[in-house]
Amino acid sequence: MNEELTATIDSAIKEGSSHLEKLRDSDHYLQRHRPFTATKIETIDKETVLHLDQFIYRFTKLQDSMARRLLPSLYVLLEADTEPRPFLDVLRRLEQLEIITSVETWQRFRNLRNNLAHDYPENLQQTADTLNELLETWRDLEAIYTRACEAWQQRA
């Protein structure tokens, strides 16, 4: 097995685990503030803002790390294919291998992430809706991460 590939996957898993731990902590704190509304977001206390920021940041970092390093490297390992492939093709193949639940789930998280990256104060209800959806469904990303780790452990 390629040492560089192994090191990349190990590093991505270590990074992902760190993000996941902090995601869980923030999710636990935010449970008592749900569901979010435009009014709640306008009047939110500083500590809750910090937890929301932490949650969004760690979610974004986890998804980015998986997209940049973990999933492409896992694809190369499982398929023995070192040719550059569009990420969507990698996702489709990983879906066929049952590493990810669905390409659509991945894309939905990407859209939520992008919605939260653009902070529009005039549309707080949209922000609240996006936060609520992300907080309700982020464990699906955790499941993809966990399945990728399991696939790696089975091969290692």
Q: What is the pLDDT of residue 145?
A: 97
Mean pLDDT of the chain: 94
Q: Residue 127 carries which side chain, given as an amino acid letter?
A: T
Q: What is the pLDDT of residue 123?
A: 87
Q: What is the pLDDT of residue 2?
A: 86
Q: Six-digit token pair at 65?
A: 């790390």
Q: Residue 39 carries which side chain, given as an amino acid letter?
A: T
Q: What is the pLDDT of residue 1?
A: 61
Q: What is the pLDDT of residue 42?
A: 92
Q: Six-digit token pair at 93?
A: 């193949």
For the entire predicted model, the pTM comes to 0.92
Q: How far is CA 47 from the centre of its chain?
A: 23
Q: What is the pLDDT of residue 105?
A: 94
Q: Which residues of the chain have pLDDT under 50?
A: none
User: Percent helix, strand and coil across the chain, each rounded to 5?
Assistant: 85, 0, 15
What lies within 8 Å, CB to CB, of 77 at 6+ separation is 1, 5, 9, 152, 155
Q: What is the pLDDT of residue 120?
A: 65
Q: What is the pLDDT of residue 27?
A: 97
Which residue has 């509304």 as its token pair?
37
**What percent of the chain lies above the pLDDT cut of 70?**
97
| pLDDT one-digit tens code per residue, 85-127 | 999 999 999 999 999 989 999 999 999 999 888 766 778 999 9
Q: Six-digit token pair at 103?
A: 């390409």
What lies within 8 Å, CB to CB, of 100 at 6+ separation is 71, 91, 94, 106, 144, 147, 148
